[in-house]
């Protein structure tokens, strides 16, 4: 009981998924593995099943080789030979468990007949395993996954104050005079000339401003005239009269004796004050 | 103190134990039904598992892990295990053959099989798997039509040690 409590807990996720190919020998007794296996990284083959039917005379010698060349073509990754010599035709089924041989090691597959006889209805199926963490970056849940850092382009900062062309263009004289519109006054004559023009424009602008005020008033009046206020006058609020429903719970309201006493006290004080006027 | 002495004397008694010996023998011959058969009804008076008659041949697989130690005895049916009431005789025929092998040499089983009455005996001389299929046919007496209903028959397969 104690050991059960102390058992460490951890989670484990299977990094593999499994599958099987279609019939590699469906169209031919020789096949290329790229056309049979899915195009994924980290795939290895863990099993093979084949079945075929021989057509032969019982007395004939016949060998049937089923296998795959290795990737370099100078050997075999898998090879099985069935000796049908002296036995009648039949269908053979064989399955093999393989030790997860990487797909890169598998070359061309084949069913070859040596001797007299033929092979029909051949079926070759590979079962495979795919390591989905073969590239750890393919899934954030894979061990070894590193958070990708985006490529930050190197930006060359342009400093205009270090640009010789800009420095040459900058006027060293900073004592400028500006008119009201922010334009630089280049010389005295121009300043005087602008001033005169400005005064003239100001006078005319004032006159125009007066006219413009009137114009604005007339515009506002015209807008107001266009405003339909009848809808406000004709508006009705649904409702009625809520009558006062005052009700006195108690039948009579007794006199406040304390107030009476207070009034009498006030009266006494008043009389004393009046008497003081007459030195009583 | 008396209690302590008593307790010590109890622990000093000789220990006794019964230790079991367990042996686990794996089956060296396993029979699996690969496919159930189906009777076709090509004519009213006939039931047949032959595909040409609309039937399906049952397939039985024998897995033998040691060579030349067993025979496969397969008996095709000679009666229905369940059927509607029949009031006439039924004529039975049947046969069993090797349909698939896991070793090419097992093809020789077919030629070497022995048929005794309704039982076909195969000498399993090689280790591996062998698939057998059994054909079965039932014809009702005097070509009378079978009564409507479900008919069931059983193929008996056994692995007999030599």
Q: Where are the domains of chain B?
A: 27-161
A5-14, A159-168, B23-32, B77-86, range with the lowest pLDDT: A5-14
**pLDDT value at residue B32:** 95
pLDDT at A239 over 90: no
Per-residue pLDDT averaged across A85-112, rounded? 92
Residue A256 lies in a domain: no
**pLDDT value at residue B2:** 43
Given the DSSP bridges, would you call strands B128-140 and B90-101 parallel, antiparallel or unpaired? Answer: antiparallel
**pLDDT value at residue B7:** 44
Of B119 and B25, the one with more pLDDT: B119
A79 in B contact zone (CB under 8 Å): no
Q: Are B29 and B160 in contact (CB under 8 A)?
A: no
Burial class (CB in 10 A: 0-12, 13-18, 19+), A186: exposed
Last residue of a domain, one of A119, A136, A153: A136
Residue A147 lies in a domain: no
Residue A240 lies in a domain: no
**pLDDT value at residue A262:** 81
CA distances from B88 to B104, B136, B144 (A): 45, 19, 9
Residue A235 lies in a domain: no
Burial class (CB in 10 A: 0-12, 13-18, 19+), A16: middle
Query: How close is the nearest chain A Cα to the Cα of B103, in Å?
Result: 7
How many whole angstroms separate alpha carbon B129 and alpha carbon B93? 26
Partners of residue A121 in chain B, C-beta under 8 Å: none
State if pTM tops 0.80.
Answer: no
- Interface residues of B toward A, Cβ cutoff 8 Å, are 98-108, 110-111, 129, 131
Q: Cα angle at B84 between B82 and B86, to 5 degrees?
A: 105
Same domain, A57 and A127: yes
pLDDT at A193 over 70: no
pLDDT at A253 over 70: yes
How many whole angstroms separate alpha carbon B99 and alpha carbon A33? 30
Place of tokens 């009034």: A263
- Cα B109 vs. chain centroid, distance in angstroms? 17
- Parent domain of A78: 16-136
Same domain, A128 and A28: yes
Same domain, A47 and A131: yes
Query: How close is the nearest chain A Cα to the Cα of B110, in Å?
Result: 9
pLDDT at B39 over 80: yes
User: Are residues B105 and A94, on separate chains, in Cβ contact within 8 Å?
Assistant: no
Same domain, A215 and A120: no
**pLDDT value at residue B8:** 45
Query: How close is the nearest chain B Cα to the Cα of A64, in Å?
Result: 10
Neighbours of B48 (CB within 10 A): 22
Nearest to B138 by CA among B94, B96, B84: B94
Last residue of a domain, one of A77, A107, A136: A136
Per-residue pLDDT averaged across A79-107, rounded? 92
**pLDDT value at residue B10:** 46
User: Are residues B104 and A84, on separate chains, in Cβ contact within 8 Å?
Assistant: yes
Residue A238 lies in a domain: no
Q: What average pLDDT is seen over chain A?
A: 81
CATH classification of B27-161 is 2.60.40, yes or no?
yes
Same domain, A224 and A121: no
Same domain, A192 and A131: no
**pLDDT value at residue B12:** 56
HSE of A63, CA atoms in CB hemisphere, 13 A: 5
* Segments of A132-233 assigned E as strands: 177-178, 184-185
How many whole angstroms separate alpha carbon A40 and alpha carbon A131? 9
Residue A110 lies in a domain: yes
Number of domains in chain A: 2
| Domain CATH for A46 | 2.60.120
């Amino acid at each position: 009981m104690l050991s059960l409590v102390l058992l460490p807990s951890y989670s484990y996720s299977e990094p593999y998924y499994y599958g099987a190919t279609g019939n590699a020998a469906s169209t031919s007794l020789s096949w290329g593995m790229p056309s049979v296996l899915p195009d994924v990284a980290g795939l290895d083959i863990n099993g093979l099943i084949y079945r075929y039917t021989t057509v032969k005379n019982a007395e004939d010698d016949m060998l049937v080789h089923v296998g795959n060349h290795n990737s370099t073509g100078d050997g075999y990754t898998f090879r099985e030979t069935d000796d049908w010599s002296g036995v009648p035709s039949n269908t053979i089924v064989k399955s093999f468990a393989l030790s997860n041989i990487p797909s890169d090691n598998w070359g061309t597959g084949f069913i070859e007949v040596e001797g007299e006889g033929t092979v029909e209805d051949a079926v070759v199926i590979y079962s495979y395993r795919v390591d989905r963490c073969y590239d750890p970056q393919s899934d954030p849940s894979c061990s070894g996954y590193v958070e990708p850092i985006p490529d930050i382009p190197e930006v060359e900062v342009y400093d205009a104050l270090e640009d010789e062309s800009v420095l040459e263009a900058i006027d060293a004289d900073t004592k400028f005079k500006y008119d009201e519109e922010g334009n630089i006054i280049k010389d005295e004559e121009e300043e005087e000339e602008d001033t005169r023009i400005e005064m003239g424009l100001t006078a005319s602008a004032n006159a125009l401003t007066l006219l413009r005020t009137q114009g604005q008033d007339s515009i506002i009046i015209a807008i107001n005239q266009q405003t339909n206020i009848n809808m406000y006058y004709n508006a009705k609020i649904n409702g009625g009269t809520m009558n006062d429903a005052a009700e006195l719970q108690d039948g009579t309201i007794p006199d406040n004796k304390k107030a009476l006493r207070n009034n009498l006290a006030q009266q006494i004080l008043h009389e004393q004050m009046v008497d003081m006027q007459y030195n009583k | 103190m008396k209690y302590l002495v008593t307790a010590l004397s109890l622990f000093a008694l000789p220990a006794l134990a019964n230790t079991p010996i367990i042996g686990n023998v794996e089956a060296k011959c396993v029979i699996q039904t690969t496919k159930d058969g189906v009777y076709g009804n090509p004519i009213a008076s006939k039931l047949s598992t032959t595909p040409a008659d609309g039937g399906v041949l049952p397939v039985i697989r024998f897995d033998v892990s040691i060579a030349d130690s067993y025979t496969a005895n397969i008996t095709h049916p000679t009666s229905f295990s369940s059927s509607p009431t029949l009031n006439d005789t039924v004529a039975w025929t049947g046969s069993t053959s090797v349909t698939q092998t896991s070793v090419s040499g097992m093809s020789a089983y077919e030629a070497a099989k022995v048929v005794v009455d309704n039982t076909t005996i195969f000498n399993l001389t090689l280790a591996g798997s062998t698939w057998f299929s059994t054909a079965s046919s039932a014809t009702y007496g005097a070509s009378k039509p079978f009564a409507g209903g479900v008919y069931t028959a059983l193929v008996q397969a056994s692995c007999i040690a030599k």
